[in-house]
Chains A and B, each alone.
Chain A
Amino acid sequence: MPTYNFQVNGEPVSVDAPADLALLWVLRDKLGITGPKYGCGVNVCKACTCLVNNKAVQTCVTPVSSVAGKRVVTIEGLADGDTLHPVQQAWLDLDVPQCGFCQPGQIMNAVALLKTKRNPSDADIDAIENICRCATYGRIRQAIKNAAAAMP
């Protein structure tokens, strides 16, 4: 079984895994990182979204072989110690989550969006496909705008 070396939340990791094993299961089943969630397995619900080299990636359809040598950030790696990332803080300030299951994916996707668009438009936010069955959409829209305003 091949070995893959990459970074997760700033730490180097080395994982023995089949080349086609989805990153989601490497994170969850081999590394015990449970923030990224399974919701569909077919890149539809986006609950498994993480950052790979600063881009949003759906880990349920990302083979581990494709992240060798790259930097993976999960929801657990977003805060700086006790200081939340501005997106997390905006989420907290607006009391966005309901059940919370989709929120790691929602937050990681918002972080990725703000890396490419400093002030995302409503159309940019409309393009977010992450499912939230509780319907936190209205507060997510506002939280993204608040985070954009708060980010340096």
Chain B
Amino acid sequence: MNRRTFLTGTATSVAIGRRRLLRAAASAPVITAAGLATPSTAEAAPLPLTPPDSVDYEDVGDSIIQASAPTIANVRLKLGPDGVYTFEMPRLEQGTGIATALAMMIAEEAGVTLDKVKVHSADAQPNLEAGQITGGSCTLRAFDPYIKEMVLRARAAAGLPPQAGAPADPAQYQVIGKRYRKLDARDIVTGKKRFTMDQDVPGAVPTMCRMPSQIRGTVVSVNNLDAVRKMPGVLDVVVVPAGGFVVKIPPAVAVMAETFGQAYDACRALDITWGDGNMRGQSDATIQAQLKAAIAPLVDSPPGTMTVEGEFEWPAATACPLEVECAIADVRPGSAEIWAGLQSPIITLQSTAAELGLPESSVTVHCIPSGGSFGRRLFWDPVQVAAQVSRLTGRICKLMYHRSDDIRHTRLRPPQYHKVRAALNPPTPLTPGNVLSYQQHIGIVRLDARHGFGNKGSAVPAGTPPDAIQTPVNQEYEEAFFDTMVSSPYNFGANDKAIYPVALEMNTVSYRSVHIMPARTCEEIIVDEIAAALHRDPVDFRLEFLRLPRAKAVLQRVAGAAQWGKAMAPGFAQGVGVHMESRSFSAAIVELDARDPLNCKVTRVTLVIDVGKPVNPSGIEQQCHGGIAEAISLVLKTGLTIRDGGVLEGSYNQYTFARMVDFPKAVEIIIMPNLGDPIAGMGEVAMSAPAGAIANAYARATRIKPRKFPLNARPAFTPTPPGQLPVPPTV
């Protein structure tokens, strides 16, 4: 599974599959490859990445495309007598604009205007098997090869001959490449767009819950059940039972009331004795120490070479979509109906059926467009809670987490510790120097990937045995994600990137960009430090060492557009970052005001992106804006604090994601033209180039090496006591 290799004691590189072997290699006597220590003209050129990056040949998007392919004929696109195509999109529209872009691709292929394409969110459709998961920034990539066939089938079903099809020459496109607003933009600005909690389900009862004082703590007792049941508006109070198919049902005490306000008041009034979770006693420092200890030692640089190295700490982070986790569940004796925003609706249906003891054919799951997601809704825990509450009370449960629990008991981007070491041939009067090897070993809290490809066939093996914190199949998935997502853009010779998952019972998830953004940000920082060690300009150095022409092209373009190297006032600096992900290429140059190194501000961003086949420039720009805000937030501003087994932050004033004042007023997004390259991914891919650029600007402005994130001081706050909900302030 691990396709990275490492230069061993011979001059040849050999593939070493498993970390066990890497450890053996690392513990071997210091490795020297004869001749490498003495620079020569021949060695000064960039060494080819060895082995070639496996992501070039198969990435996570490819695997999702391949998983979707066998059932693509079950995807529903219908042509009505009014000439309107109706698409039941088997993906979650979470704000990334996939519905609009897919509609544009259908319109182009069908030769109709965009108003002749309607997109609905498909219910969980088990006959799609592994073909209904939203993730990996590959939705447009996954459908692009099949749009022709889908339109053909829709026309055949309507008794019409095959379509002429999209023009072969991108210059002739009528819809693709033009700017369109989101299909639901008017509904949004008029308040008509209905999210899960806005669904009109008659009889659905507002429900909120309390969650334990520690991550996956337990409910020992509820000490004032009768008193809370008598509170105004309260209809029922239930302890959510333990259990769970594939993943555990979250521990909680739920209150149903006539209004959410009353449910909230009753939740706060509950006197609950909480039991410990398995994270008891764990705090950021203990977690980071375990991660650091899990990493096999890096191999020493050969004698005569220079070493550039660094160790980096990233805290846990939360996706914190603005729509809190929520679900509606109507569980009857022989059936269940669910409404929720879901990235994995099929396994949600299948596990709900298993947890309720119902046949799968009796469970309906409506997938509702969500208010953000960023990976969070790959798991379906609010559905698990709502279904149990509905089952126990006989009422329709309309469940919403409080924001505080949405942060404290959410699924986290795993905390991680990176060790990076590059060995360089130093420059000589005759040669400019080059990079012999690059190692990056990452200790990381195990990533929960038990959703698999969103169906039972792939999720159940990952969830077996059920009580394991890390199952063998889950670890295979995590390593596969790492190996098929984290790409190396540079010719740095022997290349070794590896993860060392540490099994802690934290709720983790593939937060936006998963392993990529932290790994690539660390690499971009080291790239700047290598360039400095070789006395090279960061942009010139990258242009020489980037492996692929499209990566060089975006960098050249951004360097010109951002006036790389222009004079900056003291305390200000430019920084650069380059990235490739999901077949897209991006490069960013930022300007940073670092006069106060503990309160840096990004003042300008220029971001160039090459997505191969740009579908909707307006949507691409929006996703780039999102990537910039993610980068500002995670590099400079925020992260979660874990203390005694629980998360301290409870809202956006404590988990300080970027606000208006943090978003630079000068942002330029440049989309490279369609030159006939294959369609590439977008959603997550714009985070990493600006993240690297911000960190590098920080280093250049402050002369402080960025090592521990976030770089700015985080605001002090008084946390709500663990296991409690905040008291709403009065205005």
Contact = CB atoms under 8 A, between A and B. Distances in A.
A and B assemble together: yes
Interface string B369-394: 11110100000000000000000000
B189 A107 contact: yes
A76 B189 CA distance: 9
- Size category of the B interface is 35 or more
Interface in B344-397: 369-372, 374
A137 B189 CA distance: 15
Contacts of B730: 61, 63
Given A21-B259, A128-B660, A39 B629 contact: no
Interface centre among B181, B259, B261, B323, by most A CB within 10 Å? B261
Interface string B627-664: 01110000000000000000000011100011111011
A132 B323 CA distance: 11
B728 interface: yes
Given A45-B651, A74-B191, A84-B190, A38 B260 contact: yes
Interface in A1-47: 1, 17-18, 21-22, 24-26, 28-30, 32, 34-35, 37-45, 47
Contacts of B320: 133
B568 interface: no
B190 A122 contact: no
Contacts, number: 203
A119 B494 CA distance: 58
A135 B729 contact: no
Interface string B261-279: 1101000000000000000
Contacts of A103: 188-189
Interface in B676-731: 726, 728-731
Given A41-B726, A92-B181, A95-B618, A126 B322 contact: no
B398 to A, nearest CB: 9
Contacts of A45: 322, 403, 651-652
A130 B189 contact: no
Contacts of B657: 131, 133
B191 A76 contact: yes
Nearest to A85: B189
B258 interface: yes
A40 B191 contact: no
B322 A92 contact: no
Interface residues of A, number: 68
A141 B625 CA distance: 13
Interface stretch (B93-101, B450-458, B578-586): B93-101
A138 B664 CA distance: 8
Interface of B is mostly: loop
Contacts of B324: 38-39
Interface of A is mostly: loop
Contacts of A22: 261, 728
Nearest to B187: A100
Contacts of A128: 659-660
Contacts of A104: 191
Contact of B261 (A21, A34, A37, A91): A21
Nearest to B323: A101
Interface string B215-255: 00000000000000000110000000000000000000000
B651 A40 contact: yes
A41 B403 contact: yes
A97 B372 contact: no
Given A40-B652, A100-B95, A131-B659, A95 B185 contact: yes
Closest 8 CB pairs of A and B: A99-B95, A101-B371, A35-B191, A135-B629, A75-B191, A100-B188, A25-B261, A137-B663
